[in-house]
Structure formats: C-alpha cells, structure tokens
Amino acid sequence: MQLEGRQQLKQQQAQQRVSLPTRGVRRVRSRQMQNVQAYVTSAAQSSFLGSSTWSSIVSRQISNVQHSSSMLPLRRPTRMCGIIGIYKQEGAVNVELYEGLLMLQHRGQDSAGMVTTDWAKFREYKNNGLVKDVFSSKGVMDKLTGPVGIGHVRYPTAGSASAQEAQPFFVNSPLGIYLIHNGNLTNTEDLREMLNSSSSFFNRHLKTDSDSEVLLNIFADEIHRAHQRFVQTDSKG
C-alpha cells in the first residue's frame, strides 16, 4: 500500500510539473517583449542614432523573436549589469559607448554612466535612469571627449538605488582609477571592515553601500601594498 501511495504521489507531482501556469509564462514573455520593444523604439528615436538601416535591421530581429518566442523555453530575466569598454587610435568614443550601452540596456535599467579620457583628464557622467534619458543632452555628450572610455548600466543587486551608486566608481589614489563591475562579492562586509581598519594600507572611507566600490578600494589598496614592497626591495638591493 505504501508503494502504491508513493507511485500515486510521484504521478501527481509529474502532472503538476507538466501543467505549468501557462498564463504566468505568457505574462512574463509578454512583459519581456514589451521591454525590448520599448528599448528599440527609444533607441531608434535617439538623436545619436540616425541610421534607418540600423533601425530596420533591429526591427526585423524583434519581429523574428516575436514569431518564434512561443517555441522558446522560458528563461529567467537577466539580472546583471552591462559593461563596455572602447579604445580607439583616434577620435572620440562617446557615441560608440552610447550605442553600446543602448544595446546593453536589457541588462540594467536602474542607472547608466560612462567615463572617457584623453590621457590628460577624465570626463565622467552618470545618473539614475535609462541610457536615452541619462545622455539625452548633447551638451553632456560633447563633454565626454577622448579616444578611450568605459560605460555601465546597472541592475542593483547590492547596495541601494541611489544615484551615488551609479557606475563608474573612482579613486584618486593611487594613480586615479575608474572601475565598472558586474557581479556580487560574497564577503563584502569583511572587506569593508578591513578597509576601515588599520589592516588597510590607508584607512579608506567609502561613500556608498555598493560592493563595487569595495572592490575598487581593495584593488587600490593592493596596488599601494605592491608599490611599498617594491620600494622596500629596491632600497635593500
């Protein structure tokens, strides 16, 4: 009798797995497609992307996705930031960074930011919002000059939704370092405590609750330590 009861229970569980809540699946798929369509519309209307060829290509791709979406297995929505870096021999990278962040918009909608450099000065802009809204001003884009740059769109998995936690993050010492980061640290609080204690090369004070800022300061702290070891070794030699 116990064996029969177990078999019946397994059959019921199998039936429950087969009869998935299709209405919920449809709602998720529909919501995902709406987000993609909204992104494509905003990107196509952008003053920085005037190419009708680009717009028509992406529109065809979206149409193909819509046609085949019912045949695809349901996937969890992407919950991770988008990062991009561009280096050019000559010419500004601001427009390419902007286009790249638009293409990465599905990976994060909380905030967007970029920093460029001409090797003499950093130029940074970041804020909460979608890429098209954060960089809607031509004046902002014109200031982001230089042949090298990095950009970031944020999906908040740690910290808060404050505009202060928009990336890139910056530390002035050593050298002046910008960081963009995708992922989560598993020992953030331990590292934060170390940075705020005498265990750190410098007692570093953080501005945000972001684990990315912790990572940047750990990196900067280790560079200081490596430089100190080099100086000590060189003086002995």
Query: Token pair of 194, please?
Result: 């170390």
Whether 145 sits among the annotated catalytic residues: the reply is no
Choose, from 39, 43, 49, 81, the residue flagged as catalytic: 81
Pick from 53, 170, 190: nearest CA to 113: 170
- Residue pair 122/143 in contact (Cβ under 8 Å)? The answer is no
**In Å, what is the CA distance from 181 to each residue of 6, 29, 143?**
49, 28, 24
- Three-state DSSP at 25 gives helix
* Residues 24, 26, 32: CA angle, nearest 5 degrees: 105
Distance CA 180, CA 169 (A): 7
Active site residues: 81
